[in-house]
Chains A and B, each alone.
Chain A
Amino acid sequence: MRVSMIAAIMRKELLDLLRDRRSLISMLVVPLLVFPLLISGMTRLMPRLQQRAEEDLQSMGIAARVSNPAARDAIEKLGLKIVEADDFKAAVQKKTVAAAVEEVEGTPPRFLIYVDESAPVSGTGGERIREALTAFRDAKVRESLRRSGIDGGVLTPFAITRTNVAG
């Protein structure tokens, strides 16, 4: 096909497109108006959803079956209500608790966190438990290093901080 033919087809298609209101609306109006509106809406909605998940987490509480006293103490320090439950999986599925954590014996011991990812409150609860246990594990590592005469600073040779300067 000759270049002039390709140019003719391009010109025709462009002309056709520019005169097609529906195509123009979907190409210009949607990206320029609808997408920013959607993004703006989502930006406003997400903090509200997060706040509501936190409130629901406080009222629902979590279930915990942890024999290690220090680990249990770390979880209790979250300040969340600890609820009794027999079957953790079923309790999370039925939403009687936001999330649950269970210590499984072994070497090393394992902490199993139950969450229902379809429910924001459960995801938030599971994340809070994970953060508490991670902090507990880091503290244990630092304590072990200290006892071995190694400075805990080897674990964090530098720090990273992120600052939000948005008004």
Chain B
Amino acid sequence: MVQARGKASVYAGRAVIEVRELSKSFPGAKGGTVQAVESVSFNVGFGEVFGLLGPNGAGKTTTLRMLATLLRPSSGTAGVNGFDIVREPARVRAQIGFLSGDMGVYARLTPREMLDFFGRLYGMEPARLAQRMAQLFEMFGMTPFADVRGDKLSTGMKQKAAIARSMLHDPPVLILDEPTAGLDVPTARVVEAAVLEAKQAGKCVVYSTHVMEEAEYLCDRIGVIGGGKLRALGTMEELRERTGKQRLREIFLDLLGMADGRTACASQ
């Protein structure tokens, strides 16, 4: 089910990602517990870009890390392409490409060596791996720095390499945590184009960002998360109807109860 960007129609087919009452708490610094994510539920389908918006500390990254099986939920669960994140984490990992906020580019390896390494870990055939690497180098314009060590790369180059790594094995699901953070506009556009291309290819993309314009441009549906809870979920049209606001920035602030300029509701 491939959908054109900006259409009001959203995924209506089989959910690739099914999040059910997902919660995560951590031990607090001064005793007690911190509820990072609380009973979050949503579905994402094939050919859909699902945006997860929220202020810092809202629970976006924790939610994505649980989906990527890097964190075990305190309660609730989620399915990724039919596999349960708690019971079948290895199978889930085979279904996803995950880009974390810290990029994770090896300092002493070149992008070519890094992709080759991950391709072998994914068990890709050498010919297929070489072909896929060539595709990604072309897609992200990585050829000029494909043989430059990671510690010599700019932030944009590193981010391109990290995204290429997450897409290397051509997974049906992409989980991208703030993929354009710290990037200049031209590099961010390359990333956005790659996300749209993945969507056109029918992939399921979960996309976390702080950039409202980016979310509005890329995402078919948006979930607004604050204080660990999902405050709202819907298409841009649905969110506009619900809040009476036009721009995503105003919608976002309204949903988080910050429309009058107050500083925080993240902990509500």
Chain A contact residues, CB within 8 Å of chain B:
2, 4-5, 7-9, 11-12, 15-16, 19-20
Across the A-B interface, how many residue pairs have beta carbons closer than 8 Å?
25
Chain B: how many interface residues by the 8 Å CB criterion? 9
- Interface with A: B3-11, B26-34, B105-113, B174-182, which one? B105-113
Q: Out of A5, A16, A19, A20, name the residue touching B123 (CB < 8 Å).
A: A5
On whether the beta carbons of A5 and B106 are closer than 8 Å, the reply is: no
Q: Out of A2, A8, A19, name the residue touching B117 (CB < 8 Å).
A: A8
On whether the beta carbons of A8 and B121 are closer than 8 Å, the reply is: yes
Q: Mark B110-131, 1 if CB is under 8 A from A, else 0.
A: 0001000100110100000000
On whether the beta carbons of B109 and A5 are closer than 8 Å, the reply is: no
| B149, CB-defined interface residue at 8 Å | yes
Main secondary structure of the interface of B (DSSP, over half): loop
- Chain B nearest CB: distance from A24 CB in Å? 11
- Chain A nearest CB: distance from B171 CB in Å? 18
A15: chain B residues within 8 A (beta carbon): 108-109, 113
CA distance A20 to B151 in the complex (A): 11
CA distance A19 to B109 in the complex (A): 9
B108: chain A residues within 8 A (beta carbon): 15-16, 19-20
Main secondary structure of the interface of A (DSSP, over half): helix
On whether the beta carbons of B123 and A12 are closer than 8 Å, the reply is: no
A2: chain B residues within 8 A (beta carbon): 123
By Cβ-Cβ distance, the 5 closest A-B pairs, closest first, are A8-B120, A19-B108, A12-B117, A16-B108, A5-B121
A7: chain B residues within 8 A (beta carbon): 120
B109: chain A residues within 8 A (beta carbon): 12, 15-16
A19: chain B residues within 8 A (beta carbon): 108, 149
CA distance A91 to B179 in the complex (A): 75
CA distance A133 to B221 in the complex (A): 95
CA distance A2 to B122 in the complex (A): 11
CA distance A113 to B121 in the complex (A): 68
B123: chain A residues within 8 A (beta carbon): 2, 4-5
CA distance A145 to B108 in the complex (A): 77
Nearest chain-B residue to A17 (Cβ)? Answer: B108
